[in-house]
């Protein structure tokens, strides 16, 4: 774990053990566990689906990668009010660790440009700030910004956590003016994710195989996954009109 991530995690855990707004909560399912700061709640599955359906209807995309889970702060009257986080589970196969390092050095601007065009004006001005693979934490980190209509600039912190059967992908969104205060919180949340014991990432003989033996083009797969951060940021645009309690 890098020094900055360590400090961020200590800060969040400190708020858990010495809370002013209540304790942190750990959410656990069959794929992973995640620790959230006080005051965060899960977004109902039907709200996630209906919001994504509206994005499809307003864009040039025939289909999208669906999010499996979403969380946001509870101190708002609307779903998908910033800040919020989205999580996708991918079980398409194990990624070689060496490939994760190579992926962190690739540019995915073409993927982002294609995504922007297909989103039909729902997001623009994407900029990838930095990207790196933390070998100790086993997290591919991506930091970026974009612009969403009526919302303005947003900041995105993304983590891709490999598992023995694929990866857990988490996107964290905040209005850009609040990015400095939320970035360490987002990094703490991402760092807290622990894949289930059955799917935990382990070093195997597979890691020493030559790249040409691997059938999946993980650079393309992960590049597309990272580009989908643009779509996730748009949920806040539609969420501004969706009051909690409305089914």
Is 204 a member of any domain?
yes
- pTM for this entry: 0.80
List pLDDT tens digits, range 153-168. Answer: 899 999 999 999 999 9
Is 50 a member of any domain?
yes
Per-residue pLDDT, 9? 47
Per-residue pLDDT, 36? 95
| Phi then psi dihedrals of residue 80, to 5 deg | 60, 35
Per-residue pLDDT, 84? 94
Is 79 a member of any domain?
yes
The yes-or-no verdict on residue 188 having pLDDT over 70 is yes
Is 243 a member of any domain?
no
Domains identified in the chain, total number: 1
Per-residue pLDDT, 68? 95
| Cα-based angle 236, 240, 246 (whole degrees, multiple of 5) | 110
Task: Kindly state the average pLDDT of the residues 58-71.
Answer: 82
| Higher-confidence position of 121 and 219 | 121
Per-residue pLDDT, 240? 52
- Of the pLDDT bands very low, low, confident and very high (cuts 50, 70, 90), residue 3 is very low
The yes-or-no verdict on residue 1 having pLDDT over 50 is no
The token pair at 117 is 């065009």
Is 246 a member of any domain?
no
List pLDDT tens digits, range 172-183. Answer: 999 988 888 899
Strands 166-175 and 152-163: antiparallel
The yes-or-no verdict on residue 222 having pLDDT over 60 is no
Residues 6+ apart with CB under 8 A from 14: none
| Phi then psi dihedrals of residue 78, to 5 deg | -125, 150
**CATH number where 55 lies:** 3.40.1000.10
- Domain of 183? 3-238
Residues 6+ apart with CB under 8 A from 17: none
The token pair at 102 is 């190579």
What CA–CA distance (Å, rounded) separates 67 from 140? Answer: 19
8 A C-beta contact, residue 69 and residue 47: no
Is 244 a member of any domain?
no
Which residues, listed in sequence order, are joined to residue 73 by a DSSP beta bridge? 40
List pLDDT tens digits, range 105-137. Answer: 877 767 767 777 777 677 778 788 888 999 999
Per-residue pLDDT, 96? 83
Per-residue pLDDT, 192? 96
Per-residue pLDDT, 123? 75
Is 247 a member of any domain?
no
The token pair at 181 is 């205060």
Is 8 a member of any domain?
yes
Provide DSSP, 174-225: EEGGGHHHHHHHHHHHHHH-EE-TTT-----GGGGS-GGG--S-HHHHHHHH
């Amino acid at each position: 774990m890098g020094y900055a991530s360590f400090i961020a995690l200590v800060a969040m855990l400190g708020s858990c053990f010495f809370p002013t707004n209540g304790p942190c909560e750990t959410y656990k399912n069959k794929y992973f566990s995640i620790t959230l700061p006080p005051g965060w709640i899960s977004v109902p599955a039907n709200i996630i689906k209906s919001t994504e359906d509206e994005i499809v209807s307003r864009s040039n995309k025939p289909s999208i990668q669906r999010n499996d889970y979403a969380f946001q702060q509870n101190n708002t009257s609307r779903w998908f009010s910033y800040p919020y986080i989205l999580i996708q589970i991918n079980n398409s196969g194990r990624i070689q660790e060496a490939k994760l390092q190579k992926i962190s050095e690739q540019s995915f601007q073409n993927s982002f440009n294609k995504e922007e065009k297909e989103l039909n004006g729902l997001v623009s001005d994407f900029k990838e700030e930095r990207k790196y693979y933390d070998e100790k934490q086993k997290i591919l980190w991506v930091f970026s910004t974009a612009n969403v209509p009526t919302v303005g600039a947003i900041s995105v912190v993304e983590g891709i956590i490999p598992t023995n059967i694929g990866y857990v992908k988490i996107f964290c969104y905040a209005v850009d003016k609040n990015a400095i205060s939320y970035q360490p919180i987002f990094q703490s949340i991402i760092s807290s994710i622990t894949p289930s014991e059955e799917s935990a990432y382990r070093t195997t003989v597979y890691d020493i195989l030559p790249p040409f033996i691997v059938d999946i083009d993980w650079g393309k797969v992960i590049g597309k996954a990272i580009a989908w951060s643009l779509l996730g940021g748009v949920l806040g645009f539609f969420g501004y009109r969706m009051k909690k309690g409305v089914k």
